[in-house]
Each structure stands twice: as C-alpha cells, then as structure tokens.
Chain A
Amino acid sequence: MTVLAPAPRPAETPSRLGQVRNWLTNPKYGPVIVTAVLLVGMLVAGAFRYRGFTNPQVIANLFIDNAYLLVLAVGMTFVILTGGIDLSVGAVLAMSTMITASLLQSGWSPGVIIPLVLVLTSFLGLLVGLMIHYFQIQPFIATLAAMFLARGLCYVISNTTISIVDPVFVALAQTRIPILPRLSITPSVIIAIFVVAAAVFVLHYTRLGRTVYAIGGSEQSGVLMGLPVARTKVLVYVISGFCSGLAGVLYSFYTLSGYALTAIGTELDAIAAVVIGGTLLTGGYGFVLGSVLGVLVLGTIQTLITFDGNLTSWWTRIFIGALLLVFIILQKVLTARRV
C-alpha cells in the first residue's frame, strides 16, 4: 500500500495519523471505510458533473430501485460470513415472483400468498443447508442445483409474463411515503431497511450472530468450543432462502409482473455488493451495513451511467468487474499484512 503514511516512531504515543492508518489497514474496517469514501466521492463527482444530481430524490431513488438487492445482499452476507456462497438467490427471487404472480392470477389473497412464498423459499434454503452440512457437498454445487431447480420451476409455472393486477400489490407498488418535502420513498424501502436493521441486530447482539462469525473464523474451533455449528450452518442458508423469497416479493412490487427469465445474474450483483461492502470471502469479517454500502455503490454506478447518457449500459458490468477486482486485491493486501 503506497498511499499509507510512513510508520510513526515507536517511542511516540500513537498519533492521529497512526490511528487512521490502523483503521485503514484493519481487515475488519479497512474495506468498509474505502467503500464509504468511494460512495461519497462518486456522489460528489456526480453532483459536480450532472445537473439535477443534487436533488435528494436521486438518493431516495437509489434505495427505491435497489430495495430488493438490499434484501438479497443481507442474506448473502450471512452465507459469506460463514465462508459459504449462495448462487441460487437470483433464481429463487425469480421463482418467488412467479409463484406470487400466478397465485394472484388464480385469485388467492395476498395475505396468504406472501407468507406461503416465504415459507417455501426458506424450506428450499433448509434443504440446501442440509445438503451442505450433512452430505458435505460444496456450497457452490449445492446452491447451483438449487439455482437450476428454482429456474426450472419458473418455466414450469409459466414461460410468459404474468402481470399483477391485484389491488393490494398495485397499491403497495404505487404508494409514495413522503419523508421530507419533495422527497418520498416506497413501502419496499421501509421493508428493506427493517430487514437490514434486523440483520444488524441478529449479527451483533445475539448468540446466533456470534456463531456465524465464529464459523467463518474457524469452523473447527467453533465445534471445539461447543458452538451449535451444524444448526447455524444450516440456518444461514434458510436465512438466505427467506431473504431471496422476500426480495422476490419486493421485486414483484417493483415490476408488477412475474417472468421466468427475470433477475438472471442477480446473484452476481449480490455477491459483488457483499464483496465491495468489505465482507471477506473466506468468512469471519464483514458487516451488513458494509453490504448496504456495496449495494448503494452499485446503484450509484448505474445512476451515473444513466445521467451521463454517453456511456452505454454495458459499461456498468465492466465497472462492476473492475471494482470487484480492486476490492478483492485490497482484501488480499489487508489480510496478508495481518498474518
């Protein structure tokens, strides 16, 4: 790291600069701080370059457009913190929108459908978790199978777009909740923020959260300490399944339709958001709030490209790839310094 200040003399008490350096080189906080700086930098640059970018509604829209991705990233954070990975989230999200749309079409009430979808996707997560823990199948392959299953079921339900006309869903999609004059958000944003808050509480103030971090640090030590490793490892996939299901419901608020090919590649966005948000892919380090920052960075890239108008949309993917590279190398450097 060439940007870092030279080391302070050992005799002195740690100066302010030394403290900053300690924060930056800590694998726990370093990447999150870099992401936060990057996000602020991107927003400031956008405000200088583009007219209309300073409108606070631009920030609110970041949340509105990415509410579903926030929920997905929360589930993915749990999985990656234990050192696993979940490739099925995009397909499960699509399956959830398909089930919702087709059941609404056949006249079920939304009050029944939403809990049903959440139970179904959590159950799929449970099966995946059991396969991973008890049959020792790599998370990559087990969630790949779940991805095929969910995507296949989407096609089985219908291979055309099903539009949603249910009054409750339409109302939830179109309601704007004013929080300040000329600034409003959707109910989806409130749900997403609630999910984030719940995840922060679970990870930092409950035994489950402690165990999640402990498994990511060292599964063997977790077992030796008598932590409920088996239960927790299965549970993170249930949480991820639940989050994917909920993200699907939010997505159907957002698009008011169900389509089998929807959200292809969303799992990559979720993984990218979590990595950019500073969670270590080997597990053990990371914050849910970091993943929120990661989602906002991805959303800001999209917004900047839309505002620019000259850059075509495929630059988004190239930028995301480049950012991923930078953050992965950063993680590598930070963890290497510690060891």
Chain B
Amino acid sequence: MRRLMAHRLFWPVAMLAVLLLINLIAFPGFFSVQIRDGHLFGSLIDILRNGSPTLMIAIGMTLVIATRGIDLSVGAICAISGAVACSIILGSSDPGNPGTVAVAVIAAIAISLVLGVWNGFLVSVLGIQPIIATLILMTAGRGVAMLITEGQILTVNSPPFKVLGSGFFAGLPVSVLIAAALFLFAVVLTRRTALGLMIEAVGINPEASRLAGVRSRGLLISVYVFTAFCAAIAGLVLTSNQTAADANNTGLFIELDAILAVVIGGTSLAGGRYSLFGTLIGALVIQTLVTTVYTVGIPPIATMVFKAAVVTAVCLLQSPRTTELIDSWHRRAQLRRTLEASA
C-alpha cells in the first residue's frame, strides 16, 4: 500500500476515481455509452471531447515545463490560429471546399509555428525567463488576433472545417482522435528516442547538460515550437466547435487549465522529470471536475472555486513539506507500536 501511495501517479488517479464515483452516485447512468447514428454518445465521451483542447495544449506544456520553462502564450496562439483560419475561409469564394479549409488550416499552423520560434528565440537565445518571455506574446497576441479579425467575431459556415471540432470518425469525436494522435506522437517521440532524456537533462541542470554535449538551444526552440503547434491545433478545434473565431474569448484561461493539468499530473514546475501519462490524467481530472459540478447540480459558475480547491489540495499533497510531515508522523506511530510490542 505504501509503495502504491508513493507512486507519483497515485494522487491524480485517486482524485479522478473519486470524481467519477461522485458522478456515479449522483447520476447512476453516468457510465453508460450508447451508439446513436453510428456515433458513441455518453457523459464519458463528452468528458473526452470537451477535455481534448486542454489535453492537446497540456501535452506541449508538459515538455516545456520539463525544460524548466512555461508557456503563457498558448491561449493567445489559440486565438490567433482560429482568427487566421476563419479569415482565410471567409475571404475565399468557396468556403465549403475542402481545399480552402486545408489552406486555412496549414496557414494557421504555419503562423503559430513562427510564434513558437519567437518564444523559443526569446528564451534560449536571449535568455529571458520563460514566464516573462511568453508573457509578451500573451499580452500582445490577443491584440494581434483582434487585428486579424478586425475586432469582429468571424462566423464561418464551412462543413469541412466544422468536422475538426464537432465531427465523428469511426464512432469517435474527431477532436478526441486528434488529441490521441498528438499524445501518441509525443510519447513515441520522447520515450522511444533520446529526446525525452535530453529534455529532462536540460530541465534538471542546463549547465551540466551543456557540458555533456546536449545542444540545449535547438532543443528549447523545438519544445516551444511544438507547444505552439499543439496550441494552434487546439485553437482550430475550439474555433471549429463554436463555428466562430472570437479574438477575445477563444482559449481564454486555457493556458492556466493546461498548466494545472500538468501540475496535477505530477510534473514539477521546477523542471526535470515529467510524465505525459500524468498530464493525460490531469486533463481528465479537470474536465471531469467541470462535468461533476454540472451533474451534482452545483451552479456551474462555482466551478472556479472547485478548481482552486483542487489545485491547492494537489499542490499541498505534492509539497515536499507534506511528505516530510507524513513521514515523521508515520515513523512516530511505528516507534510507538514497537515500544508497545516490547513492553
């Protein structure tokens, strides 16, 4: 039991289980998944679908945080990528053409990659603290998105674009499949090659890894580019789901949710060891929490209070100080038992 509790995914998984249990008690049909029109329907599918944009960003964020960085600009990148795609689709003569949509998606991703290079440049070449370097784009990015949409909410009516956010493929929502593909890509890339090791090395000790011959500059830039790529796709999914690009509200606070997912998943903000599976669990915890608030019948506006409670609880549980306190309490109890046994 103690070894199980010491596993770093124990608390996140326990929290997810508790949340699911609360749902099951409040709403017995919670786990039922039905097939309607060849698609899967049910609360669990909804959790997966609504949580997929956060998960996509959290995947990139995990790698950034593993290098001792952070990326605050992902929400702004979401807004920019959605704005670019929608303005291209609106500007074309044939918005329903899959070719137009492909051009729009590629353009949105390309621009986001440039923004990722910018973040990486500030962090690795100029050596600015990541939180501040990405704060610049977080502040200016929404202004840029407003500039692209000219302050309007761009509503698009394009069936191929709509598939990204609300379509189904093989019975599953397309957004879930995209998130799964990104997740597998990141896992295979970082765990089947030496890349993950190098990311951890840079996060644990940048100087030592430099002396060991890790080219941290290129590595850092590519990590920020990958996060921007994830953010761009999440932005496209969000925009497609709402069928509109809203420069002010697309991806608002998503950077905080993504960071939260990473932290709940047990990756330390101090860099180094990371767990993509933890992040997956973290993203599911956040989305399940939101769903729980709805099913239990608490006013949805109180969700943020619960998020605050979860962050605080998880952080306190993972704090080294708490482990110390629990350990010393444990030792004392053991000592008492031995004393009682010998007496």
Binding partners A and B? yes
Which residues of A approach B to under 8 Å, CB–CB? 85, 131, 134-138, 140-142, 144-149, 151-153, 155-156, 159, 260, 268, 271-272, 275, 281-282, 312, 314-318, 320-322, 324-325, 328-329, 332
Cβ contact within 8 Å between B311 and A328: no
Most A CB within 10 A of own CB, among B131, B135, B299? B135
Cβ contact within 8 Å between B139 and A320: yes
B341 contacts partner chain A, Cβ-Cβ < 8 Å: no
Cβ contact within 8 Å between A318 and B140: yes
With known contacts A317-B142, A328-B132, A152–B302 Cβ distance under 8 A:
yes
* Chain B stretch 251-301: residues in CB contact (< 8 A) with chain A: 256, 259-260, 263, 269-270, 299, 301
Cβ contact within 8 Å between B139 and A149: no
Cβ contact within 8 Å between B139 and A85: no
Which residue of chain A has the shortest Cβ distance to B304 in the bound complex?
A: A152
> Mask for B52-64, Cβ within 8 A of A = 1, else 0?
0000000000000
Q: Shortest CB–CB separation between residue A68 and chain B, in angstroms?
A: 19
Cβ contact within 8 Å between A153 and B140: no
B144 contacts partner chain A, Cβ-Cβ < 8 Å: yes
| Chain A interface SS verdict (over half) | helix
Q: Which of A85, A149, A324 lies in contact with B304, CB distance below 8 A?
A: A149
Cβ contact within 8 Å between B316 and A135: yes
B151 contacts partner chain A, Cβ-Cβ < 8 Å: yes
Residue numbers in A under 8 Å from B315 (CB-CB) = 131, 135, 137, 141-142, 145
Cβ contact within 8 Å between B127 and A332: yes
B214 contacts partner chain A, Cβ-Cβ < 8 Å: no
Cβ contact within 8 Å between B143 and A155: no
CA distance A155 to B309 in the complex (A): 16
Closest 4 CB pairs of A and B: A321-B140, A152-B304, A317-B143, A152-B305
Residue numbers in B under 8 Å from A324 (CB-CB) = 132, 135-136, 139
Q: Which of A138, A314, A320 lies in contact with B151, CB distance below 8 A?
A: A314
CA distance A112 to B147 in the complex (A): 46
Residue numbers in B under 8 Å from A272 (CB-CB) = 139
Which residue of chain B has the shortest Cβ distance to A137 in the bound complex?
A: B315
Residue numbers in A under 8 Å from B139 (CB-CB) = 268, 272, 317, 320-321, 324
Q: Shortest CB–CB separation between residue B147 and chain A, in angstroms?
A: 6
